[in-house]
């Protein structure tokens, strides 16, 4: 990959005309992805180590939008976050065609499903659908494919898990209740769909603390706060299972 000769014209057409609308990239996502791509694959390097502060300074942005864009690009498969530390982020960048191969077009929910997921959701050679077993569901990485990520968004029915605000699809994020920096897994028990504002403001703070902060700001009523705290417990206990679509 690092030695692959890139076609700048084709790269830009794929990015602007296909990738941006299909992934619903924000202006911040676009700016950060373009910057990271410019300093990695365009220069022949697959991986890039950078500091959010430096990227923000070069782009004329504040740290928050840049940090949020990196998280969102990681969730969308536009890059792979390999390491995050006090010295910065280490990422592996992906070209537009690689991202499109990972994410099917809208409506093609079963395209590119991972062999691991398919093995659990199909009933032998006959192809008859069956409900996934508890063990299969528990071992599934819900960030591995677009179809699996979509089931988490669908579970919340278009509302932010934390503040309950209705959230357009292009502004939805997947948040780790227990952050990956604290060994949080990509399980359905640890992933929720939320708005970009909650994803950014929660950061690596405990989810109950974020909910109480929303209450103090008047974003949640006492009843809603209690319901959200109960939902967190139900999530951890495996009671909020996503509805996986049947295989066609």
pLDDT at 28 over 80: yes
Q: Does 32 fall in a domain? A: yes
Domain count along the chain = 2
Which residue range forms the structural domain that includes residue 34?
A: 8-100
Q: Are 121 and 47 contained in the same domain? A: no
Q: Are 116 and 232 contained in the same domain? A: yes
Candidates 5, 13, 7, 57; CA nearest to 35 is 57
pLDDT at 31 over 60: yes
pLDDT at 237 over 70: yes
> What would the pLDDT profile of 92-124 be if each residue is shown by its tens digit?
998 887 776 555 544 443 334 443 443 333 333
pLDDT at 24 over 70: yes
- Nearby residues of 151 by Cβ (< 8 Å), 6 or more positions away: 142, 188, 242, 243, 244, 245
Q: Are 119 and 199 contained in the same domain? A: yes
Q: Which residue has the higher pLDDT, 20 or 210?
A: 210
Q: Does 224 fall in a domain? A: yes
The C-alpha atoms of residue 208 and residue 82 are separated, in whole angstroms, by 27
- Between the alpha carbon of residue 142 and those of residues 8, 84, 103, the distances in Å are 33, 21, 14
Q: Are 182 and 219 contained in the same domain? A: yes
pLDDT at 248 over 50: no
- What predicted TM-score, i.e. pTM, was given to this entire model? 0.54
Q: Considering the chain, what percentage of its residues have pLDDT values greater than 70? A: 82
Q: Are 88 and 154 contained in the same domain? A: no
Q: Does 247 fall in a domain? A: no
> What would the pLDDT profile of 42-78 be if each residue is shown by its tens digit?
888 899 999 999 999 999 999 989 998 998 898 888 8
135-159 average pLDDT score: 85
Contact 168, 160 (CB under 8 A): no
Contact 196, 72 (CB under 8 A): yes
Contact 175, 30 (CB under 8 A): no
142-160 average pLDDT score: 88
Contact 207, 177 (CB under 8 A): yes
Q: Does 121 fall in a domain? A: yes
User: For the chain, how are helix, strand and coil distributed in percent, rounded to 5?
Assistant: 50, 15, 35
> Which pLDDT score, from 0 to 100, does residue 204 have?
83
**Of the candidates 71, 100, 129, which is a domain's last residue?**
100
> Which pLDDT score, from 0 to 100, does residue 122 have?
31
3-state secondary structure of 156: coil
């Amino acid at each position: 990959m690092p030695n692959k000769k890139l076609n700048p014209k084709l790269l830009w057409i794929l990015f602007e005309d296909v990738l941006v609308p299909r992934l619903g990239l924000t202006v911040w996502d676009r700016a950060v992805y373009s910057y990271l791509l410019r300093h990695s694959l365009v220069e022949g390097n697959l991986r890039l180590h950078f500091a959010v502060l430096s990227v923000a300074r070069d782009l004329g942005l504040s740290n928050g939008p840049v940090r949020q864009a990196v998280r969102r690009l990681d969730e969308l498969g536009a890059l792979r976050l390999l390491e995050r530390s006090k010295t910065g982020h280490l990422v592996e960048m992906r070209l537009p065609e690689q991202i499109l191969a990972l994410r099917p077009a809208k409506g093609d929910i079963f395209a590119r499903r991972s062999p691991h997921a398919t093995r659990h959701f199909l009933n032998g050679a006959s192809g008859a659908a069956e409900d996934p077993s508890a063990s299969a569901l528990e071992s599934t990485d819900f960030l591995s494919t677009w179809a699996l990520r979509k089931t988490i968004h669908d579970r919340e029915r278009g509302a932010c898990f934390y503040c309950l605000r209705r959230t357009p699809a292009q502004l939805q994020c997947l948040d780790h209740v227990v952050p990956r920096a604290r060994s949080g897994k990509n399980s359905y028990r640890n992933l929720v769909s939320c708005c970009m504002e909650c994803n950014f403001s929660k950061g690596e703070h405990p989810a109950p603390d974020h909910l109480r902060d929303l209450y103090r700001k008047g974003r949640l009523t006492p009843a809603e706060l209690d319901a959200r705290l109960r939902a967190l417990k139900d999530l951890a206990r495996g009671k909020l299972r996503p509805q996986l679509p049947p295989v066609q």
